[in-house]
Amino acid sequence: MIDQAAALGLIDELRVAVPEEVRAAKRINSEGERIIEKAQEEAERIVARAQEQAAFLIDERGLTQQAEAESRRIIGESQDEAEEVRRGADEYAVSVLVGLEGEVVKTLQSIKKGISLLDERRAEIAPDTTDGAGVPNGGGWLASAEEFDDDAEEDASLPVQR
């Protein structure tokens, strides 16, 4: 017989750990979007300032060519700065997501170990209730670790539905 309290405790721990990882990923994603949005606003502000400066030079001094060149230079600089901020935000997001991926992998390994342990306990208690390939007869309540691995290889980006 499976220690029901231990199994329920493991399931409760998993229910707590996985949603927290999902919330962390959402926070990271939101932070990355906020950084990119801030960079875009800064770029727009710089472009507007450059356009104002160009208009001032044209109105005050009639230096059309010089004003256009300066405007292009300022716009180019602002675009470069915006791109640099975007790259930094992307690098930050990637580094955080890589760390989160590691944590999710650890959690997945813990889940697999728990399933394997429960399968082993189940096999010890009722070894004659399997079909010879380790698959429970009569549809056990847990999939074997091999079934879990096969499903994970199909498409790791989608939740497993049974």
pLDDT tens, residue by residue, 67-105: 788 889 999 999 999 899 889 989 998 998 999 999 999
State the total domains in the chain. 1
pLDDT for 9 beyond 70:
yes
pLDDT for 40 beyond 80:
yes
Residue 158 covered by a domain: no
Residue 18 covered by a domain: yes
Residue 38 covered by a domain: yes
Q: What is the mean pLDDT of residues 5-15?
A: 77
Chain-centre distance for alpha carbon 130: 39
CB hemisphere CA count around 49 (13 angstroms): 11
pLDDT for residue 19: 72
> Of 59-73, 82-96, 138-152, which one has max mean pLDDT?
82-96
Residue 15 covered by a domain: yes
Name the β-bridge partners of 136: 130
Instruction: Specify whether the CB–CB gap between 31 and 90 falls below 8 A.
Output: no
Residue 162 covered by a domain: no
pLDDT for 152 beyond 50:
no
pLDDT for residue 135: 55
Chain-centre distance for alpha carbon 86: 17
pLDDT for residue 145: 47
Distance in angstroms (rounded) separating the CA atoms of residues 85 and 161:
40
Nearest to 24 by CA among 118, 74, 93, 120: 93
Instruction: Specify whether the CB–CB gap between 145 and 116 falls below 8 A.
Output: yes
Instruction: Specify whether the CB–CB gap between 162 and 142 falls below 8 A.
Output: no
Alpha-helix residue ranges (DSSP H) falling in the chain: 4-61, 64-125, 145-154
Residue 35 covered by a domain: yes
Residue 40 covered by a domain: yes
pLDDT for residue 56: 77
Rg for the chain (alpha carbons), in Å? 29
Instruction: Specify whether the CB–CB gap between 115 and 149 falls below 8 A.
Output: no
Residue-number span of the structural domain to which 92 is assigned: 4-121+128-153
Residue 102 covered by a domain: yes
**The residue type at 113:** K
Give the least confident one: 17-26, 119-128, 145-154: 145-154
Distance in angstroms (rounded) separating the CA atoms of residues 92 and 1:
48
